[in-house]
Amino acid sequence: MARTPPDSDDDVDLRISPALLRGLTQPRLSQQLALSRRGFLTAAGATLGLAVLGFPDMAQAAWVKRSPAQWADWWKAQKPTKDLVFANWPLYIDVTKAGKHPTLEMFSKQTGIAVKYLEPIQSNPEFFAKIEPLLKSGEATGYDIAVMTNDSFQFTELLQQGWAIPLWKERLPNVWKYADPSILNPVYDPHNTYTTVWQSGFTGIGYNPKLTKREITSVADLWDPAFKGHVGMFKNPTQYGDFGLLKLGIDPATATVEDWKKAAKELMAQRKEGLVRQYYDQSYIKALESGDAWISMAWSGDIYQANTQGYKDLKFIIPKEGAMYWHDNMFIPQGAKNPLSALEWMNFYYTPKIAGLVEDYVNYICPVPAAQAYIRDVIKDPAVADSSLVFPDKAMMAKARNYYVFKDYAEFQEYLRIFNPVVE
């Protein structure tokens, strides 16, 4: 449970769980938004048709192509400004019951930069569909920083099209000093050319040992006949597809089309044998809490929040085959009016104090390991500081698996053609 951040004039609003409104442990604002944060891609890719995802007409945007040396000159020609427009997911930063963001206020006080903080991102496909036409036509999005997830093809497409500005790395010393080594030089963005991580999380397995009657250790446990009719799987093909691959001992990051077909057969057999209770979006956590599902694919943040809200029987594990390790990434869109301010924020965030203040509220996986001591010793919140779901240990990180980076849209279509029939 988040405590009052130091240097804040207001108490943190504990009346509503941050996870509740982020769409992690309950349907986030379901009547207004209809789909959850991490569940939207399922419906978009599997049931709404591929056109809704914001492509396939992917003509290169009318942005000037520059070499690394030309980008260096471009950065040096930029003039400092006193504004920053930051686009993020709902309730994905520290906030008080008065609606203030202490870390943003500290940033403004230290730098003189006024932050316009917006929460327009409900899903990666939805957000991409909004900004893609602008970027494609060479227009600015209106944002200086935005946050997207690496488990979506939309994010891959954005980077491949050159719609993010390469970072001026010399202006980010705190990133290279404090960032967890596991998030540097990611496969989806070699050398962190365009991105720095905002928060991360695992897709693993959640279960209730009182119902399974044994400990869970393997992805194969999702295929155990003893749990027939009580297994939860995600609806998103890029999520359940990866678990099919893990069951076969195949690394999703290096899987081939033939591997995809083998994994799809495993998943089809699981369904035909009646093992699956339901293919869930974020509602799987309610099924675990109620006992409808005994075991399910799960996000680490969900189980942590469920535990803090009274469902202490639920456990989260990283299967022996591994778990998918996803990252929400900050990037600077082409056309940003305040790129130097964006770099200032990225560097400011990557300190133990600021990352710790944010982490104590959002409870995902923190990109700054040194924030753990700040949360424990200064904020005095050992529950967060000592949670392996917020600060994973080396054994957990050894089993982190990366997502496949699709080469192009046609390859992504092929993936969906193979895996969509599992839930149709």
User: Which pLDDT value is given to residue 64?
Assistant: 82
Q: Tell me, what amino acid is at 379?
A: I
> CB count, 10 Å around CB of 398?
10
DSSP state, residue 52: G
Q: How far apart are CA 339 and CA 145, in angstroms?
A: 8
User: How many alpha carbons fall within 13 Å on the CB side of residue 240?
Assistant: 33
For residue 302, the model assigns a pLDDT of 87
pLDDT at position 402: 94
pLDDT of residue 259: 99
Sign of CA dihedral 151, 156, 157, 163: positive
List the CATH number of the domain containing 166: 3.40.190.10
Q: In the prediction, which pLDDT does 236 show? A: 87
Query: By three-state DSSP, how is residue 219 classified?
Result: helix
Are 350 and 310 contained in the same domain? no
Task: Provide the residue range defining the domain that includes 156.
Answer: 76-201+326-391
In a shared domain, residues 209 and 165: no
pLDDT value at position 58?
47
Does 92 fall in a domain? yes
Q: Are 417 and 285 in a shared domain? A: yes
pLDDT of residue 40: 38
Query: Contact, 360 vs 384, CB < 8 A?
Result: yes
Task: Specify burial of residue 337 (Cβ count, 10 A radius: 0-12, 13-18, 19+).
Answer: middle
422 class by beta-carbon count within 10 Å (0-12 exposed, 13-18 middle, 19+ buried): buried
pLDDT (tens place) for every residue of the chain, 424 residues total:
333 333 443 333 332 344 434 343 332 222 223 333 333 333 444 433 444 455 545 445 468 889 999 999 999 999 999 999 999 999 899 999 999 999 999 999 999 999 999 999 988 889 999 999 999 999 999 999 999 999 888 999 999 999 999 999 999 999 999 999 999 999 999 999 999 999 999 999 999 999 999 999 999 999 999 999 999 999 989 999 999 999 999 999 999 999 999 999 999 999 999 999 999 987 899 999 999 999 999 998 889 889 888 999 999 999 999 999 999 999 999 999 999 999 999 999 999 999 999 999 999 999 999 999 999 999 999 999 999 999 999 999 999 999 999 999 999 999 999 999 999 8
- 214 and 353 co-located in one domain: no
Residue 27 lies in a domain: no
* Same-domain pairing of 271 and 156: no
Residue 34 lies in a domain: no
Whether residue 400 lies inside any domain: the answer is: no
Q: Which helix (H) or strand (E) holds 158?
A: helix 153-160
- Whether 197 and 82 map to the same domain: the answer is yes
Residues 194 and 207 in one domain: no
Same domain for 336 and 224 = no
Is 357 among the domain residues? yes
Domain count, the chain: 2
Cα separation, 139 vs 336, whole angstroms: 10
If one counts every other C-beta atom within 10 angstroms of the C-beta of residue 192, the result is 20
pTM for this one? 0.82
CA 363 and chain centroid, separation: 12
Beta strands in 303-382 (DSSP E): 315-317, 323-331
The values of phi and psi at residue 88, to 5°, are: -140, 180
Query: What was the pLDDT predicted at 2?
Result: 35
